[in-house]
């Protein structure tokens, strides 16, 4: 069996990826670029071959008001979805969204994800009423959820009939690390460089460089070693 040189393989992939997209032909072009290429994380290399990046043929984008930066990576089964009254979604350069992650907006909610963010599998960004803003170079581990809203719970009507309310948007500073399974609720601001422990439920602000753990999340210490 003749081994095709890596340089020629990259030319093949670059040509087909340049014609990729959400149309039937675009999806076919992407599938041709994937021939013989490993799945999952290694496919992030393909997003660097062309400015438009890599969008898996199995990803779904149903959103009229979204923008992407250069070298975007959308893995298998990523879903970008809009409900009525949706705000925008803006993804920065070299954003990586891994499989089964969902970004959804409605009722004026919006999502901004900064440059070089890595969003691991099965994360949910649900922006209704309030915005979600993620700074540059943020690392989000698997299974995290972000909700910029809550349900009203007044006693005079059934829960299903309650309007959505929000204490404000979610703001995540640059270079934060959000641990696996963490939940970030509306009105929360997390300062630059903070760390959120696995499984934490964050319902109050976390300062820059802070380490917060638990349910509800509490500030444990500062990364600098100073007092919390």
pLDDT band at 2 (very low <50, low <70, confident <90, very high): very low
Domain for residue 62, yes or no? yes
pLDDT band at 12 (very low <50, low <70, confident <90, very high): confident
Domain for residue 120, yes or no? yes
pLDDT band at 11 (very low <50, low <70, confident <90, very high): confident
pLDDT band at 4 (very low <50, low <70, confident <90, very high): low
Domain for residue 48, yes or no? no
Query: Tens of pLDDT along 55-88?
Result: 999 999 999 999 999 999 999 999 999 999 999 9
Top pLDDT among 26 and 147 is at: 147
Top pLDDT among 12 and 210 is at: 210
pLDDT at site 153? 86
Q: Is the pLDDT of residue 109 over 50?
A: yes
Q: Is 151 a catalytic residue?
A: yes
Q: What is the mean pLDDT of residues 31-42?
A: 90
Q: What's phi and psi for 189, nearest 5 deg?
A: -120, 125
pLDDT at site 1? 42
Mean pLDDT of the chain, nearest integer: 93
Domain for residue 142, yes or no? yes
The model carries a pTM of 0.93
Domain for residue 163, yes or no? yes
- The answer to whether 194 touches 207, Cβ cutoff 8 Å, is yes
Domain that holds residue 111: 56-220
Domain for residue 158, yes or no? yes
Count of alpha carbons within 13 angstroms of residue 178, beta-carbon side: 33
* C-alpha Rg value of the chain to the nearest Å: 19
What residues are paired with 73 via a beta bridge?
Answer: 54, 96
Q: What is the DSSP letter of 86?
A: -
Query: Tens of pLDDT along 193-219?
Result: 999 999 999 999 999 999 999 999 999
CA 52, CA 68: separation in Å to the nearest integer? Answer: 8
pLDDT at site 227? 66
pLDDT at site 162? 87
Tokens coding 21: 């997209």
Domain for residue 28, yes or no? no
> What are the strands, taking DSSP E only, across 75-213?
79-82, 89-91, 96-97, 102-106, 111-113, 118-119, 124-128, 132-134, 139-140, 145-147, 150-151, 164-165, 170-172, 177-178, 183-184, 189-190, 195-196, 201-202, 210-213
pLDDT at site 6? 61
CA 182, CA 194: separation in Å to the nearest integer? Answer: 13
CA 109, CA 127: separation in Å to the nearest integer? Answer: 5
- Three-state DSSP state, 7: helix
Q: Residue 202's domain is classified under what CATH number? A: 2.160.10.10
pLDDT band at 3 (very low <50, low <70, confident <90, very high): low
Count of alpha carbons within 13 angstroms of residue 4, beta-carbon side: 10
Domain for residue 116, yes or no? yes
| Overall residue count recorded for the chain in this entry | 228
Domain count, the chain: 1
Q: Which of 103, 109, 66, 102 shows the shortest CA–CA distance to 84?
A: 109
């Amino acid at each position: 069996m003749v081994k095709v040189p890596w340089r020629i393989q990259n030319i093949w992939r670059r040509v087909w990826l340049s014609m990729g997209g959400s149309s039937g032909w675009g999806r076919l072009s992407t599938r041709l670029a994937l021939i013989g290429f490993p799945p999952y994380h290694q496919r992030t290399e393909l997003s660097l071959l062309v400015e438009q990046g890599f969008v898996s043929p199995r990803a779904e984008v149903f959103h009229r008001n979204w923008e992407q930066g250069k070298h975007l990576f959308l893995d298998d089964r990523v879903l970008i979805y809009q409900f009525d009254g949706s705000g925008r979604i803006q993804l920065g350069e070299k954003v990586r969204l891994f499989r089964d992650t969902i970004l959804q907006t409605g009722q004026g909610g919006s999502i901004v994800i900064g440059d070089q963010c890595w969003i691991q599998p099965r994360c949910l960004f649900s922006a209704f009423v309030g915005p979600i803003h993620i700074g540059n170079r943020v690392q989000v581990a698997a299974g995290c959820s972000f909700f910029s809203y809550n349900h009203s719970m007044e006693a005079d009507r059934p829960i299903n009939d309650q309007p959505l309310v929000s204490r404000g948007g979610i703001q995540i500073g640059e270079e934060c690390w959000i641990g696996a399974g963490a939940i970030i609720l509306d009105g929360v601001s997390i300062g630059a460089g903070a760390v959120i422990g696995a499984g934490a439920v964050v319902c109050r602000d976390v300062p820059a460089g802070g380490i917060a753990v638990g349910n509800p999340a509490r500030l444990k210490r500062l990364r600098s070693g100073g007092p919390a």
